[in-house]
Amino acid sequence: MTEPPQQHYLELSENPVQFEHASSVNNVFFDEANKQVFAVRSGGATGVVVKGPDDKSSVAFRMDDKGEVKCIKFSIGNKILAVQRTSKSVDFINFIPDYPHTEFSQECKTKNANVLGFCWTNWNEIVFITDQGIEFYQVFPDKRSLKLLKNQSINVNWYQYCPETAVILLSTTVQGNILQPFAFRNGTMSKMSKFEIELPVIPKPAKLSLSERDIAMATIYGQLYVMYLKHHSRTANSPSAEVVLYHLPREGACKKSHVLKLNTTGKFALNIVDNLVVVHHQSSQTSLIFDINLKEPDCAVNTHQPVLPARSIHPYRMPLAGPAVVPSQPPVPCQLYSSSWSVFQPDIIISASEGYLWYLQVKLHPTVNLLQDKGKLMDFLLRRRDCKMVILSVCSQILEGGVKGSLPVVATVFDKLNQVYKEYLEAEQSYTVAMESGPSRGSAAQKRPVRTQAVIDQSDMYTHVLSSFTERKEVSHKFVIAVLMEYIRSLNQHQITVQHYLYELVIKTLVQHNLFYMLHQFLQYHVLSDSKPLACLLLSLESTYPPAHQLSLDMLKRLSTANDEIVEVLLSKQQVLGALRFIRSVGGHDNVSARKFLDAARQTGDQMLFYTVFRSFQQRNQRLRGSPAFNPGEHCD
């Protein structure tokens, strides 16, 4: 926040994974499932260095050079290494200690088929994708053999794999635009319903028209989507490129669900960061972000414009201490959007020529000034992972501005925050209820709700926004009160119980500016809910505002659990008879301490009053114990 306004809302991770850059002797591979980079020198003979997102998943080893490596991947947990060197077979090496380390090999079952690639779906389950279908195997590392679990014949142009959901997508037919997904789970393979990507132009004669580069799979807001980068075409009626999202549910048909308007043409690449679709545009060296859950009021349903204006990724400098393997590299600014970049899902950018792997990240602070519509900004921020402090700072900013007409904005923002807050409270409550009613029944269904950063509760608002805001001298008290009332209104509207400290803040502000009549009216309409602390606070105001006494007594009366306090208040006002009548009316006369009343009566100096009170207690004693005498414990002798 101390830096001048920044416009770059995307950045490369500060700690990239560094590896030996690709060269004639060093081949580099990336495994999306384990997010590991393999640097294979001389076919593995002079070493394979595996770098993962953390040190644990980094490994270095040697293997025999048995020809050019086409594809190399560890199974989940680095248990088994699979290497493809020919188009017919895949080789395996055990990495489990105590298991034989000798390589073993598996040829594809289908005759004359070429293996396009393979994917691990588990630590010991692997899928071969050939041009004629897919083969699903279980690997037995101890026996150094594989068992075919299932296979499916189908003509395949190319394939994509989404490791998160273990779904493989196959491009079939001549044009390649019929996509067939398969899902894998615990040794089973299920065929999902296939679907067709609408091509901008139907080529004649038919030829492969859907490129692997234009399709990506990713989960957004917990749902699997196939993203299709639809380029603009001169013949079809589409002035600029767009990204079409197909929703791929576990069950049921795949549906075209969202269209992201890119409003430009050229070369694009896609990433998913924090449930945002990021579209990189190479020629302009900028990126756009889309949020498919943001409703666009002025667009047709599910057509989205970029959330923010296009900006480039934040400039990146290679760390001064360059990678040890290339010590001569100067600390130069990194060339962004380089043609040597490869982009992987969901959020990975790799520069093979420079030996860097970055994670793409969204910075929320710069978005604040780029999105003028604060309601939309809140919708956007509330869906982001690390949003809390940014949201709170936006709240402070709106309140600080004191721009004319900002109250409706404040109201909208509060309502949006409290909607999320309320949903969380409700989930929490139904969870508690379910737990109390016995965890035996359907306990699996009830999961403790996760409190995301988007849940901004009253204490967050109080600590980070409201308490400092109310102390600001330059803000008019009118505005302060309006804002507090707006927040209380919003909480009430969402049926959220307002915390006492907010009422205290309101009262403090009103008292500071001598607005007692306003306070009186708020209490009259029960805007400040009854509570003992509030009643006590009111009592303390009596010296500056006498009516507070009545307000306080009324409140204690309504609480119906504060009879003792009422008696104390009346006695302190020397209203001994009133106190006595009150305690009788609520039926507490028999148990009350006589001494307290007699003391108060004596203090008035009114002998008649003292006598009356004394007689009243004697009568009570007579009724209770048959004698007018007091119990010794009552100290009334």
Partner 1 sequence: MALSVSVTAMQEKQYTPSLLSFFIYNPTFGPREGEEEKKILFYHPSDIEKNEKIRNVGLCEAIVQFTRTFCPTKPAKSLHTQKNRQFFFEPEDNFWIVMVVRNPMIEKPNKDGKPPTIEYQEEEILDTVYGAVVRQCYSMYKLFNGTFGRAMEAGGVELLTQKLEKFFYRYLQTLHLQSCDLLDVFGGISFFPLDKMTYLKIQSFVNRVEESLSLIKYTAFLYNDQLIWSGLEQDDMRILYKYLTTSLFPRHSEPELAGRDSPLRPEVAGNLLHYGRFLTGPTNLKDPEAKFRFPKIFVTAEDGYEELHLIVYKAMSAAACFMISASVELTRDFCEQLDGLVGPQLTLLASDICEQFTINRRISGPEKEPQFKFIYFNHMNLAEKSTIHMRKTASVCLTSVHPDLMKILGDINCDFARVDEDEEIIVKAMTDYWVVGKKSDQRELYVILNQKNANLIEVNEEVKRLCATQFNNIFFLD
Residues lying near partner 1 in the complex (CB under 8 A) are found at 404-408, 411, 478-479, 481-482, 485-486, 488-489, 492-493, 517-518, 520-521, 524-527, 547, 549-551, 553-554, 556-558, 566, 575, 578, 581-582, 585
CA 7 to chain centroid, in Å, comes to 23
Report, in Å, the least distance between residue 393 CB and partner 1. Answer: 22
Closest CB to partner 1 among 371 and 562? 562
Instruction: Compute CA distances 212 → 327, 445, 498, whole Å.
Output: 37, 39, 55
Q: Which residues contact 564 (CB under 8 A, 6 or more apart)?
A: none
**Nearest 10 degrees: Cα torsion 579, 582, 587, 590:** 20
CA distances (Å), 507 to each of 16, 492, 512, 517, in order? Answer: 52, 18, 8, 11
Least distance from partner 1 to the Cβ atom of residue 524, Å: 6
**Helix, strand or coil, per DSSP, at residue 459:** helix
Residue 502: CB minimum distance to partner 1, A: 13
- Least gap, CB of 253 to partner 1 (angstroms): 44
Q: State which residue, 323 or 547, has the beta carbon closest to partner 1.
A: 547
Cβ nearer to partner 1, comparing 214 with 415: 415
User: How many of the other CB atoms lie within 10 Å of CB of 385?
Assistant: 13
Token pair listed for 321? 């201490």
Extract the tokens encoding 322: 């360059």
Rounded to a whole number of angstroms, the minimum distance from the CB of residue 574 to partner 1 is 11
Give whichever of 478 and 635 is closer to partner 1, judged by the CB atom: 478
User: If you search the block for the tokens 């330059």, which residue do you land on?
Assistant: 474
Q: How far is the CB of 542 from partner 1 (least distance, A)?
A: 12
Query: At which residue do the structure tokens 């090999």 appear?
Result: 105
Rounded to a whole number of angstroms, the minimum distance from the CB of residue 356 to partner 1 is 52
Phi first, then psi, for residue 240 (nearest 5°) are: -145, 170
Burial class (CB in 10 A: 0-12, 13-18, 19+), 524: exposed
Q: Which residues pair with 170 in a beta bridge?
A: 159, 180
Comparing CB distances to partner 1, the nearer of 174 and 527 is: 527
| Residues contacting residue 565 through CB under 8 Å, at least 6 positions apart | 532, 535, 536, 556
* Closer Cβ to partner 1, 62 or 581, answer by number: 581
Q: How far is the CB of 540 from partner 1 (least distance, A)?
A: 18
CB closer to partner 1 out of 428 and 554 = 554
Smaller CB separation from partner 1, 223 or 493: 493
Closest approach, Cβ 608 to partner 1, in A, equals: 13
* Partner residues linked to 317 by β-bridges: 333
Closest CB to partner 1 among 422 and 549?
A: 549
**Residues in contact with 615: Cβ distance below 8 Å, sequence separation at least 6, in sequence order:** none
Closer CB to partner 1, residue 87 or residue 524?
Answer: 524
Q: Compare residues 270 and 583 and give the one whose CB is closer to partner 1.
A: 583
C-alpha 508/C-alpha 537 separation (Å) is 10
The Cα 348–Cα 355 span in angstroms is 13
What are 214's two structure tokens?
């234009």
Tell me whether residue 504 is exposed, middle or buried, using C-beta atoms within 10 angstroms of its C-beta: 0 to 12, 13 to 18, 19 or more: middle
Specify whether the CB–CB gap between 546 and 559 falls below 8 A. Answer: no
118, two tokens: 């393979």
Nearest distance from C-beta of residue 221 to partner 1, angstroms: 32
**Shortest distance (Å) from residue 493 CB to partner 1:** 7
Q: Least distance to partner 1 from the beta carbon of 605, Å?
A: 16
Helix 594-603 vs helix 607-625: crossing angle, to nearest 10: 170
Nearer to partner 1, 395 or 410 (CB): 410
Residue 114 Cα distances to 81, 157, 474, angstroms: 20, 11, 75
Q: Which residues pair with 433 in a beta bridge?
A: none
**Which amino acid, 507?**
I
Q: What is the rounded CA–CA span in Å between residue 434 and residue 428?
A: 10
Nearer to partner 1 among residue 163 and residue 547 (C-beta): 547
Min dist CB 34 to partner 1, Å, is: 54
Residue 6, SS3?
A: coil
Report d(CA 37, CA 47) in Å as an integer: 13
How far apart are CB 520 and partner 1 at their closest, in Å?
6
| Pair 176, 157: CB distance under 8 Å | yes
Of 82 and 539, the one with the shorter C-beta distance to partner 1 is 539
Rounded distance, CA 358 to CA 343, Å?
A: 10
Rounded distance between C-alpha atoms, residue 482 and residue 509, angstroms: 11
